[in-house]
């Protein structure tokens, strides 16, 4: 069974590489420009498919590297257990007296989870998960021996936890925002999303809090009073780390996905709409409007974009028409092509 699984993974990675080569020659448009009185015209994609994929993979590598450094250098040496696969692996590592390395536990458990849920997981998810968990385990495995056998780089546990949690949150946010994953609870969440309607956020929080609490029972030299005093501090540090890196990761991902709405009034609406469509890959909807005071017919443009595109759109409008009127505001959600996919819970009614 394991052999078939490995062969399947290699086939999927080869298939992804072939698709990447094809993207070098063919770039398909992914967004459209809409006008009220004209037909739909395809918008030029912002970047070639292969170039975007390379940026995604580079960002995933960077995010996983930051995560690995934050965990191995600042969290692990202080015997602090956090949530997720890293926390579970830390528990096993210290429960066995360091006999089973964190990286080995992490990689082995991820393989078991993939084997159990392979039929529920998509091809892209499996390939990215295998890549992410392999890279993370290699980085952690190459440095954990040194940092667990030497004094912590930052002697103050609270300061080390804060630095480590910030790096964890930043790393998670980077590789999540580029569709990366390092396995662990991500695999569990992907499986449960196909088999259950249970709130994954609540389940994962319960699991993470429980993992940290279990560190109370790790081997300890001293009486019960000393154990309670020492373990209470590390448990609190673990919970603080979970809150901090989860909050930072959510903020990072949400910031990248924040949708901005522009309404633009300009006599040069046609050239502005053309540049927005072809330079940013975002569509422009054109409305007919009439000025109440002047009675003149005008064109209003509605543009939805991500936060990262806002400066580019402002620059285009300023270069073409410094007298244009522009309003912009944050939009709670936009569902559709080029934005978020609408997800609804399955109805409980027959």
Same-domain status, 31 and 176: no
**Domain co-membership, 40 together with 165:** no
- Indicate whether 39 and 86 sit together in one domain: no
Tell which residue, 228, 230, 234, 238, has the closest CA to residue 207: 238
Task: Give Cα separations from 264 to 168, 259, 286, 333 (angstroms).
Answer: 40, 16, 9, 20
Q: 17 pLDDT exceeds 80? A: no
| Predicted TM-score of the model (pTM) | 0.69
Q: What is the pLDDT of residue 255?
A: 74
Nearest partner of 88 among 77, 100, 78, judged by Cα: 100
Q: How far apart are the C-alpha atoms of 277 and 257, rounded to whole Å?
A: 19
Residue 13 lies in a domain: no
> Of the candidates 215, 231, 256, which is a domain's last residue?
256
341 falls within a domain: no
The helix (run of H) or strand (run of E) holding residue 164 is helix 157-177
Do 160 and 177 fall within a single domain?
A: yes
Instruction: Kindly state whether residue 304 falls inside one of the protein's structural domains.
Output: yes
Kind and range of the H or E run holding 175: helix 157-177
243 within domain boundaries:
yes
Same domain, 199 and 158: yes
* Domain end position, chosen among 231, 256, 281: 256
Is residue 337 situated within a structural domain?
no
Q: What is the pLDDT of residues 196-234, one digit of tens each?
A: 666 666 777 888 888 999 999 888 888 888 888 888 999
Last residue of a domain, which of 202, 222, 256?
A: 256
> What would you measure as the largest C-alpha separation in the chain, in angstroms?
86
Q: Is the dihedral of CA 222, 224, 225, 226 positive or negative?
A: positive
Residue 91 and residue 39 share a domain: no
Residue 253 has pLDDT above 70, yes or no: yes
pLDDT in tens, 333-346: 777 776 767 666 55
Contact 304, 261 (CB under 8 A): yes
pLDDT digits (tens, 9 = 90+) for 125-152: 888 889 999 999 999 999 999 999 999 9
Count of structural domains, the chain: 2
* Better-predicted residue by pLDDT, 66 or 177: 66
pLDDT band at residue 8 using 50, 70 and 90 as cut-offs: low
Q: Which of 194, 193, 154 is nearest to 70 (CA)?
A: 154
Residues 166 and 180 in one domain: yes
Amino acid 240: pLDDT: 94
* Residues 280 and 201 occupy one common structural domain: no
Give the CATH number of the domain where residue 270 resides. 3.30.70.120
349 in any annotated domain: no
Is residue 187 located within the same domain as residue 63?
A: yes
Question: CB pairs under 8 A, 24+ apart, for 315-320?
Answer: 316/272, 316/275, 316/276, 316/279, 316/280, 317/264, 317/266, 317/272, 320/266, 320/268, 320/271, 320/272, 320/275
Confidence (pLDDT) at 93: 94
User: Is 16 a domain residue?
Assistant: no
pLDDT at 89: 94
- Answer yes or no: is 17 within a domain: no
The tens digit of pLDDT for each residue in 46-96 reads 444 566 678 888 989 999 999 999 999 999 999 999 988 999 999 999 999
Whether residues 189 and 314 share a domain: the answer is no
Q: Which domain holds residue 147?
A: 51-256
Whether residues 269 and 137 share a domain: the answer is: no
């Amino acid at each position: 069974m394991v052999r078939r699984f490995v062969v399947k993974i290699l086939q999927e990675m080869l298939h992804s590489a072939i698709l990447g080569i094809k993207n070098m020659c063919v770039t398909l448009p992914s967004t459209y420009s809409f006008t009220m009185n004209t037909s739909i015209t395809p918008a030029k994609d912002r970047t070639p498919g292969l170039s975007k994929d390379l940026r995604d993979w580079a960002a995933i590598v960077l995010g996983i590297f930051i995560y690995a450094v934050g965990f191995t250098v600042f969290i692990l040496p202080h015997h602090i257990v956090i949530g997720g696969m890293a926390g579970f692996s830390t528990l096993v590592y210290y429960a066995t007296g360091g006999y089973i390395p964190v990286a080995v536990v992490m990689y082995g458990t991820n393989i078991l989870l993939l084997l159990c849920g392979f039929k529920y997981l998509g091809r892209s998810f499996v390939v990215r998960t295998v890549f992410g968990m392999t890279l993370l385990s290699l980085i952690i495995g190459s440095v954990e021996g040194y940092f667990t056998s030497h004094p912590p780089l930052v002697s103050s546990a609270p300061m080390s936890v804060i630095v480590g949690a910030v790096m964890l949150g930043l790393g998670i946010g980077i590789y999540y925002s580029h569709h990366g994953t390092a396995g662990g609870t991500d695999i569990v969440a992907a499986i449960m999303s196909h088999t259950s309607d249970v709130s994954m956020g609540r389940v994962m929080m319960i699991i993470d809090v429980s993992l940290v609490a279990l560190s109370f029972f790790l081997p300890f030299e001293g009486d019960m009073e000393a154990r309670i005093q020492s373990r209470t501090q590390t448990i609190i540090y673990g919970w603080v780390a979970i809150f901090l890196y989860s909050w930072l990761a959510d903020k990072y991902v949400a910031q990248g996905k924040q949708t901005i709405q522009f309404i633009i009034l300009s006599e040069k609406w046609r050239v502005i709409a053309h540049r927005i469509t072809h330079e940013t890959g975002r569509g422009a909807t054109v409305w007919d409007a009439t000025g109440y005071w002047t009675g003149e017919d005008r064109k209003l443009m509605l543009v939805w974009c991500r936060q990262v595109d806002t400066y580019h759109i402002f620059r285009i409008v300023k270069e073409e028409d410094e007298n244009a009127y522009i309003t912009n505001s944050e939009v709670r959600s936009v569902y559709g092509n080029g934005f978020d996919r609408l997800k609804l819970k399955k109805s409980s009614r027959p």
